[in-house]
Chain A
Amino acid sequence: MENSLQALGFAGVKGVRVGKYLELFLEAETREEAAARLKDMAERLLSNPVIEDYNYSLQEVKL
C-alpha cells in the first residue's frame, strides 16, 4: 500500500497500517446499555482478541 501511494506520487508516507471501520445502528434505552452491548459484540464477533484491539465511539441518532 505504501508502494502504491508512492506510485501515485504521494511522497513521505511511512508505516501504513490497515484496520477495519464498522458502523452500525443500535436501538437501546440508555447510552450505558448501548456501550455494554457494543463491547460484547466487539469481543464476541467484531474483533478477534487474539490479534486485534478495538475501540468505539457512540453517537446518538433519532431514527
Chain B
Amino acid sequence: MADADNLRPEKAPKIWRKLGLKDFEYEMIVEQLGREPNPVELNMYSVMWSEHCSYKHSRSSLKLFPTGGPRVVQGPGENAGVVDIGDGYGAVFKIESHNHPSAIEPYQGAATGVGGILRDIYTMGAQPIAFLNSLRFGPPNNARSRYLIEGVVAGIGGYGNCVGIPTVGGEVYFEPCYRGNPLVNAMCVGVMPLKRLVLGQACGEGNLVVLAGARTGRDGIHGVTFASEELSDQSEEDRPAVQVGDPFLGKILIDATLEAVEKQLVVGVQDLGGAGLTCALTETASRAGTGLEIDLKMVPLREEGLEPFEILTSESQERMLFIVEPEKLEDLEKIFQHWQLPLSVLGQVSAGKMVTVRHHGEVVAEVPAESVAGGAPAYEPESREPEYIGKLSAFDLSALKPAGDPGQYLLSLLSSPDIASKEWAWQQYDYMVRTSTLEGPGGDAAVLRLRETGKALAVTVDGNSRYTYLDPYLGGMLAVAEATRNLSCCGAEPVGITDCLNFGNPEKPEMFWQFRQAVEGMAEACRVLEAPVVGGNVSFYNEVEDEAIYPTPVVGAVGLLENAKNYCKTGFVRNGDLIYLLGPCEVSFGGSQFLKELYGKVAGRPAGIDLEMEKAVQALLRRLIADGLIVSAHDLAEGGLAVALAESCLAGGRGAAVTLASGLDSVLELFGEGPTRVLISLPPEASDRVLDLARKKRVRMSELGRVDGGDSLTVKCGNALAFKLGLDELKKAYEEVFSWIRT
C-alpha cells in the first residue's frame, strides 16, 4: 500500500479501492463534494476516511461512554482530554496505539508512538509530565518475540529518555495471540494552568497558517491506511509506511511550542500525526467552521520532488501547525530561530469552509473541510456472538481439583512472564527525570508531585485481555474497575480515564460483537464509578492471517491526591502491622493466571463484579489513606491473594505470617482471582477504627495475619501449613525469568 508509485492515481482505475475506500464511500465523496474528486483530493479523503482517522466502525459505540462531569474541561474530540485538578490547573492526558508500525519496525514504531502521544499533550498547551505504556507480545520463548520486546522497550526509552519526560509506569503481558501482532499503547499525561488552554482550531479570518518543526519527507505516507488493514506477510514491505522519530527535534519543539503558548503568540495549535498535513488542515478548519488557503510550495521539504499528494499525506514526525495573528508572527519566528527550528507560513484562514491547496500557485485541491474531516460514514456493523464464548464459559472449573504444593504453585506464578518483575523493562526508562516521581514503576500506580500546587497525580494503565476474551462485557467493566482501584490504592480520587481499544477486524460480526460488548461494559463501569472518558483511541484490524488478538481494552486512568505527602505504597512498611483483605471473597479460576500457567488453558467464567461494592471499597480505601489509618494497600490482580502477599513482602522487604480461616478450598482462595479486593496493612492501634469504618460502608474485611519482620512468607490454612517460602526464594522466582534480556 505504501509504495508511492502505486498510489499515483492515474495508474489504476477505481484507484479508491487501492486507497482503502469502498465503492459506496467513493460515491459519498462525490456526493459531498458535488463532483468527482481529483487524484490529490481523493488521497486526502482516503487518509481521513480511513478507520484510524474517521472511527467509522466505532463512532456510534463510543457515544455510550460518559464523557462529562464536574471536572471535565475538554472531553473527546480534541487532541487530548482535560480535567480540572483545582487551583486553576488541569490534567491533560491521552492514550494511543502504535501497534502495526511496531510489528514491522519495533524500535521506530514504539518511539514514534511515544512521540505522537507527546505532541497530543503539549499541543493543548500542557507541560508533559509522564509517560506510561501498555504492551502485549507473544510468549518470550522465541527469538522473534524477543526481538520485538527488546526493540519496543528500547524505542520507548529512546524517545522518552531523550525528550526528558519520565516513563513512570505500564504493563506487559504475553499471550500467543499477540505473536504476530504485538500491542504498543502509549499514554502521556501533562499539566497546565487552565487559562493557557489552546485548542486545535483555525480561528479568525486572515490569521496565518504556520508549519513548524521537521522538514517533510516521504516517510509514513499512508501510514493510517496501513494501520487500518490486517497485517500480512507482505507487511514487511510496508516498512516505508513506518515513520522515523527524531526525539531531539521533538524535545526542542516542545520547548519552543510551550514558550509560544505561554507568550500567547498562537490562537490555535495542532500537531501533525496520522494523515499528516491533510488531517491538521481539515480538522482545524472544520472545528472552527472556517476555511484555509495554503500553498504547498511553502512546506519545507527534506528531499526534492515530492508530489502534492505526498506532501499532504506524509507522516513525517516532529511537526506542528500553528494559527497565528499576523502581528505576532515576528515574535513566534524569534522563538523558533533561537532553537534553529524551521518555520514557514503556508497560507491563511479564509471565510467559507473550503480548504484550498495550491502548489506553486496552481490549485491542486479544493475540498470542504467538514466533509474530509468528518464526513465519513458511521457504520452500524453486524454483530454476532462468537461460538467460542459459550464453549469456553462452559468449561468445568470445579473438575480441576488442584492438589499440588501451594508453595510451588506460587513460585511458578511469580516466575510467569505476566507476573514476574518488569524491572528489565523499566530500568531502560528514565522514570525520575523532572524530579517529581514520588512512586515510580512497579507499584499499583505511579505518583507524581505537582510542585505548583502541593498536590499529586496518580496514574496507571490496566487491562486484562483474558477476561475480555472470555466475557467482553465483564472484561470491559473489570478494566475500568481495576484502573480506578489502582488509583484508590494510592489514595487518589479518579478524575478521568482515557482508553485504547485494541480489537480485530470490525467488519467481521464476531469481532464487532466483542468490541461492542466491551464498550458497553466499560461505559457502565465508568458511569457507576464516576470516571468520565475524556479521550482515547481505537485500533482495529489487529489480525494476522485471520487470527485476531484477544479483545484488549486498555484503560489509562488519572487520579488526584489532595496532599502529595499522603499516599500509600504496595509494600509492607512496619513489623507488627496487621494484614487484612478488604472486599468480597468471591473468586474464580476462570481466565486466571493459575489456569493459564498450570493447565495451559484460557477458559471458564471470571468472577463477576458488583460495581456499587467496587465504588464503596474504593471510597473506603481513599478515606483510610487520607486519615492515615493504613500504611500499605495492594490491589489483588493476576495470581490472586498469594501473589499479592508475595509482592507486598518483596516490595517492603519484610516477611509475613498469614492464616486463612475461611474454610474455602485453600488453593482457590490463594490463587483464584476476583475484582474489588485489596490487601492492606495497618498498625494494630488503628484496627478498631478501620473495622468500624468498613462496617459502616458495608465492606467486608478479613483479618489475615501480621507483618512479622522475618525473612519468609508463611501461609497456613486453618492449622495446616500451606507453605513457607523465604523472601530470597520469592525474589529469585520473581526476577529470574527475564534474565536473558539483561545480557
Contact = CB atoms under 8 A, between A and B. Distances in A.
Interface in A1-36: 3-4, 6-8
A18 to B, nearest CB: 14
Contacts of A3: 143, 146-147, 150
Most buried by B among A3, A6, A8: A3
Contacts of B150: 3-4
A57 B147 CA distance: 35
A12 to B, nearest CB: 15
A4 B147 CA distance: 6
Contacts of B151: 4
Chain B contact surface mostly: helix
Interface string B140-170: 0001101100110000000000000000000
Interface in B43-91: none
Nearest to B146: A7
B715 to A, nearest CB: 40
Interface in B290-346: none
A56 B146 CA distance: 37
Interface string B513-537: 0000000000000000000000000
Nearest to A4: B147
Contacts of A7: 143-144, 146-147
Interface residues of B, number: 6
A10 to B, nearest CB: 11
A3 B741 CA distance: 11
Contacts of B144: 7
Contacts of A4: 147, 150-151
Contacts of A8: 147
B459 to A, nearest CB: 32
Interface string B364-383: 00000000000000000000
Interface in B481-495: none
B138 to A, nearest CB: 12
Contacts of B146: 3, 7
Interface string B446-470: 0000000000000000000000000
A24 to B, nearest CB: 17
B143 to A, nearest CB: 4
A3 B150 CA distance: 10
Interface in B113-156: 143-144, 146-147, 150-151
B150 to A, nearest CB: 7
A2 to B, nearest CB: 11
Nearest to B107: A4
Nearest to B740: A3
Interface in B144-199: 144, 146-147, 150-151
Contacts of B147: 3-4, 7-8
Contacts of A6: 143
B130 to A, nearest CB: 29
B380 to A, nearest CB: 43
Interface string A21-58: 00000000000000000000000000000000000000
A35 to B, nearest CB: 29
A6 B151 CA distance: 14
B569 to A, nearest CB: 36
A4 to B, nearest CB: 5
A7 B141 CA distance: 12
B137 to A, nearest CB: 13
Nearest to A5: B147
A34 to B, nearest CB: 26
B182 to A, nearest CB: 14
A8 B144 CA distance: 7
A18 B238 CA distance: 26
A8 B150 CA distance: 13
A7 B146 CA distance: 8
A55 to B, nearest CB: 28
B213 to A, nearest CB: 24
A7 B144 CA distance: 5
Nearest to A9: B143
B578 to A, nearest CB: 48
Nearest to B144: A7
Nearest to A8: B147
A6 B150 CA distance: 14
A4 B699 CA distance: 52
Nearest to B143: A7
A8 B146 CA distance: 11
12 contacts: A3-B143, A3-B146, A3-B147, A3-B150, A4-B147, A4-B150, A6-B143, A7-B143, A7-B144, A7-B146, A7-B147, A8-B147
Given A7-B144, A7-B147, A8-B147, 10 more contacts: A3-B143, A3-B146, A3-B147, A3-B150, A4-B147, A4-B150, A4-B151, A6-B143, A7-B143, A7-B146
Interface of A: 3-4, 6-8
The 3 closest A-B pairs by CB, nearest first: A7-B147, A7-B143, A4-B147
